[in-house]
Amino acid sequence: MRHHIVFFALGFIMMLGFSACNSSNNEGTAFQDWDSNQDELLDNNEFDNAFTNSPYFDNWNQDGDQYISENEFYQSYAAMIDENEDGNISNEEWDAAVNSYFSGYDFKVENLMEEWDQNSDGNLSKEEITSSLAESDYFDEWDSDGDEQLSEKEFAKGTFSTWDTDGDGLVQAEEYADWYDSGF
């Protein structure tokens, strides 16, 4: 069950991350810009082409070395939900994120925050999030070649899997809108 909740939490954080990237660096990008054959679906190739021509990878590649390390991966997650950029995720930031993305789900991610809050101060530091996420195999699942870093292609593939919420191998306009139009 913990593994299942972690994946939903990570999906939620990914949506936050890309929403934040979208609002600051990619305004005006519409589904039609990514849908090169205009069939209202993004297959892996369309997604990969559009994604690799967008700023998302560079936003997560903090040291600019052409790869995303495990530490960069998890720290970027933490940074995306830290609205006030104080280095901590408050209950309010966590709850706002949960309410935006998890209304209608049958599980409680609020308990996940309590579990991850190792020093019980009511906030999640970037270190607590990084440490908690590192206990999962999430990064390893994205790192398809096992070299302990994510190339842009691996990052695009993992992102595609996250956005393909129904698992049909395509990102539909509605799935795209789930992260793009979230407004968080």
- Which strand (E) or helix (H) includes residue 172? strand 171-172
Return d(Cα 83, Cα 147) in angstroms, integer. Answer: 32
- Token pair 């991350």 is found at 17
Tens-digit pLDDT string for the chain (184 aa): 444 445 545 554 554 445 444 444 444 468 899 999 999 999 999 999 999 888 889 999 999 999 999 999 988 878 877 889 998 999 888 877 766 655 554 555 657 888 889 999 999 988 898 888 888 788 999 999 999 999 999 999 988 988 888 889 999 998 888 766 543 2
Condensed to tens digits (0 to 9), the pLDDT of residues 68-111 reads 999 999 888 788 778 899 989 998 888 777 666 555 545 556 57
DSSP, collapsed to helix, strand or coil, labels residue 41 as strand
Structural domain including 36 reads: 2-180
User: Residue 171: CA atoms inside 13 Å, Cβ hemisphere, count?
Assistant: 29
What is the model's pTM? 0.74
Number of domains into which the chain is organized: 1
Distance of CA 105 to the CA centre of its chain: 18
Cα 183 to Cα 122, 172, 179, distances in angstroms: 25, 19, 8
Q: How high is the pLDDT of residue 11?
A: 55
Query: Can you point out the beta strands (E) in 33-166?
Result: 41-42, 68-69, 88-89, 124-125, 149-150
